[in-house]
Structure 1
């Protein structure tokens, strides 16, 4: 006889806390940087709050975040409930310092900085959860990467602990990822290069987690020693793990053109040109990029045919 599923409202959280942010917090926009497309099994924005599933050093956790009267209320379930729940303020950027950005000499950036007071760079302190989807996004369209991420979570992820919304899943552990067979990877639609990169990082995953990886620069060095992990992937990871305000996603297909268009009006810029444009804000370059992207001023015109994604399941 199968065990009936309890209604979400009947499962008591293993951890609860509350705090009042001293900045104009926007939970949805703060956490959307972790959202991997519509239907991401690890992050949901529901009427009863924001739900996020994560791994922790103590085991999986489901966290619900609600805001009532300016107070952020946190409830968490699972073996890692206390670890994850106690770090929600960091996810939302409580220890970020946006005042470190000096943009007085650039009217556009100064205006965006002034009119986007909610923008904080949060940190998750979980490399694995950021690294797996970043590898899946290498050299493919965003749509294709998100489809594979959902397929992988359905295949190898565990159901989220506690009363999470239906379909939420915990990212598979390194050990579970190694158990995925070649034909299962093929069914998910993952090509050989990204498959090899994922297998490579599973063997060193424990050495990539804070506090062993002490800061952004150290984690990038460690990541780039792994075959298949380059500058772009390492940047995407440290932006989320440490809330790094400076590391830019060098090598991104669109970003160089978006930044170049926002700052110069030119439709095309290369990666080195982008870095030259951002050089005046060294130390805060990623924050400037986020300001440009968030406010919709970095929409470079596109030329040529759309890139049709390759469905590796049919190869």
Structure 2
């Protein structure tokens, strides 16, 4: 992809503060993003998230750190004020800054289980996505494998097909080496061969790239969950779980719910066995229209149990 000629990156970067509504659980977001970070594109260290990006042909890096009542965002970019505004809007979505936690607590207040979960972790937020295409590619890479395995595949995908950062860009944010591959770069890429993974999964990523090029607003946020899921499921290699996962993280659909997820089923096992998908959906009916936030709480509970 051709990038517009621009002035050098400002070494010090531009700093911004984004207000947060308390309570806000930075620690959970940090752990989640650390587990799912694409090597070379994202790096998470204690109290800090950083990544590379390209928007409208303008490339750069950013970092996010928590303050007392805000997130501090530092942008190093060859872009303009408009680029900064676009980056900040994506950071707001990624770190779920516009939701009112009281709405989540009220919405999940009809089930004693979710009441207890929200009470234990009142500041939980939805780990969003900086880029919908990137998140969807990661979701496809993660099909039928562990999060750790998906992260390794993402690192190999980035190294093979992504755009290397210039030396001064790498110096600005140590640990960042590439931009995530664009749809153009993945459209005809030999993904399955390079990553040594099933051909169907490689074709699914190529199909996603083609869809993105044909429909640039493929991941636009709408209020229609059923329409969003149907649109995603029409893409090759994207089933119910992947569609709901992408809808909740990349498209801010608060009622999306990947009902077949084993982690959700484990979290509901109180000793009598895990519920099946139908039982999970029946239980989740009282969580509507906030099932995505219920899922985040259940995943956090499952992770906490497995750590003890």
After superposition, the Cα gap between the structure-2 partners of 1:118 and 1:242, relative to the gap in structure 1 and judged at 3 Å, is: same
Answer with 99-108 or 112-121: which moved more.
99-108
Equivalent in the alignment of 2:126? 121
Relative to the length of structure 1, the TM-score reads 0.78
**Which residue of 2 is the match for residue 89 of structure 1?**
92
Q: How far apart are the structure 2 equivalents of 1:278 and 1:211?
A: 25
Match of 1:244, SS state, is coil
Distance in 2 (alpha carbons) for counterparts of 1:33 and 1:297? 10
| CA gap 1:76/1:56 in 2 versus in 1, 3 angstroms | same
Tell me the residue number matched to 2:283.
277
Q: How many residues align?
A: 286
- What secondary structure is seen at the aligned counterpart in 1 of 2:260? coil
* More divergent stretch after superposition (186-195 vs 204-213): 204-213
User: Could you tell me how far 1:98 is from its partner in structure 2?
Assistant: 3.1
More displaced stretch, 76-85 vs 274-283:
76-85
Cα deviation for residue 132 of structure 1 reads: 0.5
Which of 187, 190, 195 is the matching residue for 2:197? Answer: 190
In the alignment, is residue 214 of structure 1 matched against residue 242 of structure 2?
A: no
Corresponding residue SS for 1:204: helix
5+ residue gaps, structure 2, are: 1-8
> What corresponds to 2:162 in structure 1?
157
SS of 1:273 mapped into structure 2: helix
CA distance in 1, matches of 2:188, 2:121: 44
Where 2:39 maps in the other structure, the secondary structure is: coil
Q: Which moved more, 1:187-196 or 1:72-81?
A: 72-81
Cα–Cα, structure 1 residues 137 and 76, in superposed 2: closer, same or farther, change >3 Å? Answer: same
Aligned-pair distance for 1:81?
A: 4.4
Give distance in 2, aligned partners of 1:34 and 1:48.
12
Distance 2:92 2:217 in 1: 19
Question: What TM-score do you get using the length of structure 2 for normalisation?
Answer: 0.79
Greater mean alpha carbon deviation, residues 112-121 or residues 34-43 = 34-43
Distance 1:236 1:229, change over 3 A: same
- Structure 1: any 5+ residue segments left out of the alignment? 1-8, 301-315
**Superposed displacement of residue 67, structure 1:** 2.9
Matched with 2:5 is: none
**How far apart are 1:221 and its partner, in Å?**
2.3
Q: How far apart, CA to CA, are the structure 2 residues paired with 1:216 and 1:129?
A: 22
Counterpart in the other structure of 1:75: 74
1:228 Cα deviation from its structure 2 partner: 1.3
